[in-house]
Amino acid sequence: MVSTLPVEVQSSGNQYLSQRDSGTILSPNQELLPLNARVNHHNSLEIGGCDVTTLVQQFGSPLYILDEQTLRTACQQYRDTFKQYYKGESQVLYASKAWNCLAVCAIVASEGLGIDVVSGGELYTALNAGVSSDKIYLHGNNKSREELILAIESGSTIVVDNWYELKTLVELATTDAAIRMMLRLTPGIECHTHEYIRTGHLDSKFGFDPNDLEEVFAFVSKQPSLNCVGLHAHIGSQIFERQPHRDLAAVMVQWFRDAAKYDLELTELNVGGGLGIKYTESDDPPSIAEWSKAICEVVQAACASLNLPLPKLLCEPGRSLIATACVTAYTIGSAKTIPDIRTYVTIDGGMSDNPRPITYQSVYRAVVANKMSASLTETVTLAGKHCESGDILIKNAQLPKTEPGDILVVMGTGAYNYSMASNYNRLPRPAAVLVANGEANLILQRETYEDIIRQDCLPERLK
Looking at the structure, do residues 316 and 438 belong to the same domain, yes or no? no
Nearest one of 246, 177, 187, 259 to 218, comparing CA atoms: 259
| Mean pLDDT for the stretch of residues 105-117 | 98
Looking at the structure, do residues 299 and 392 belong to the same domain, yes or no? no
Q: Are 350 and 386 in contact (CB under 8 A)?
A: yes
Q: Are 384 and 424 in contact (CB under 8 A)?
A: no
Query: Average pLDDT, whole number, for the chain?
Result: 90
Looking at the structure, do residues 141 and 254 belong to the same domain, yes or no? yes
Looking at the structure, do residues 330 and 444 belong to the same domain, yes or no? yes
Task: Indicate the burial class of 72 (C-beta count within 10 angstroms; 0-12, 13-18, 19 or more).
Answer: buried
Return the amino acid letter for 337: T
| Residues annotated as catalytic (active site), given as ranges | 387
pLDDT bin (cut points 50, 70, 90) of residue 104 is very high
Q: Where residue 77 sits, what CATH number does that domain have?
A: 3.20.20.10
Q: What is the pLDDT of residues 213-254, one digit of tens each?
A: 899 999 999 999 999 999 999 876 677 676 776 777 778 888
Q: Is residue 5 part of a domain?
A: no
| Mean pLDDT for the stretch of residues 15-42 | 83
| Mean pLDDT for the stretch of residues 170-187 | 90
Q: Is residue 140 part of a domain?
A: yes
Looking at the structure, do residues 283 and 387 belong to the same domain, yes or no? no
Which of 260, 291, 322 is the C-terminal boundary of a domain?
322
Cα separations in angstroms, 433 against 64, 149, 168, 442, 445: 6, 33, 41, 4, 9
pLDDT bin (cut points 50, 70, 90) of residue 207 is confident
Looking at the structure, do residues 94 and 189 belong to the same domain, yes or no? yes
Looking at the structure, do residues 212 and 171 belong to the same domain, yes or no? yes
Percent of the chain with pLDDT over 70: 91
Looking at the structure, do residues 54 and 187 belong to the same domain, yes or no? no
Q: Domain range for residue 103?
A: 69-322
CA angle 360, 364, 367 (to 5 degrees): 155
| Mean pLDDT for the stretch of residues 335-359 | 96
Which of 322, 353, 386 is the C-terminal boundary of a domain?
322
Cα separations in angstroms, 408 against 44, 222, 310, 395, 415: 11, 59, 49, 14, 19
pLDDT bin (cut points 50, 70, 90) of residue 7 is very low
Looking at the structure, do residues 329 and 315 belong to the same domain, yes or no? no
pLDDT bin (cut points 50, 70, 90) of residue 209 is confident
Looking at the structure, do residues 44 and 74 belong to the same domain, yes or no? no
Looking at the structure, do residues 166 and 301 belong to the same domain, yes or no? yes
| Mean pLDDT for the stretch of residues 402-416 | 97
Would you state the pLDDT for residue 237? 66
* pLDDT(8) > 70: no
| Mean pLDDT for the stretch of residues 38-54 | 96
Q: Where residue 50 sits, what CATH number does that domain have?
A: 2.40.37.10
Q: Is residue 19 part of a domain?
A: no
* pLDDT(2) > 70: no
Which of 302, 322, 342 is the C-terminal boundary of a domain?
322
Higher-scoring residue by pLDDT: 14, 436: 436
Count of domains forming the chain? 2
Would you state the pLDDT for residue 211? 85
* pLDDT(19) > 80: no
| Mean pLDDT for the stretch of residues 329-333 | 98
pLDDT bin (cut points 50, 70, 90) of residue 9 is very low
pLDDT bin (cut points 50, 70, 90) of residue 208 is confident
Percent of the chain with pLDDT over 90: 78
Q: Is residue 23 part of a domain?
A: no
Q: CA 224, CA 171: separation in Å to the nearest integer?
A: 12
How many Cβ atoms are within 10 Å of 177's Cβ, its own excluded? 11
